[in-house]
């Protein structure tokens, strides 16, 4: 696999892991509205990043450049 494709897959994995962690952090932050809001804000932003990176992976696959 070419480095740039590996990088995309790796980053997608990192984002997915962060999204899972934000749920855990939000749960442990109960009682602190500021922290809860922060984790929810980050989760929303990362969900957008996840869509962008996944779309780029799909584009590479569709263009037969995912090697």
Residue pLDDT, tens place only, 17-29: 999 999 999 999 9
Residue 6 has a pLDDT of: 97
Q: What mean pLDDT do residues 51-55 have?
A: 98
Closest CA to 53 of 2, 1, 14: 14
Residue 7 has a pLDDT of: 98
Q: What mean pLDDT do residues 43-50 have?
A: 98
- The DSSP output letter for 1 is -
Neighbours of 62 (CB within 10 A): 9
């Amino acid at each position: 696999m070419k480095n740039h494709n590996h990088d995309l897959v790796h980053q997608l994995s990192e984002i997915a892991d962060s999204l899972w962690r934000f749920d855990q952090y939000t749960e442990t932050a109960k009682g602190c509205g500021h922290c809860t809001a922060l984790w929810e804000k980050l989760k929303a932003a990362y969900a957008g990043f996840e869509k962008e990176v996944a779309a780029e992976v799909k584009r590479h696959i569709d263009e037969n450049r995912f090697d």
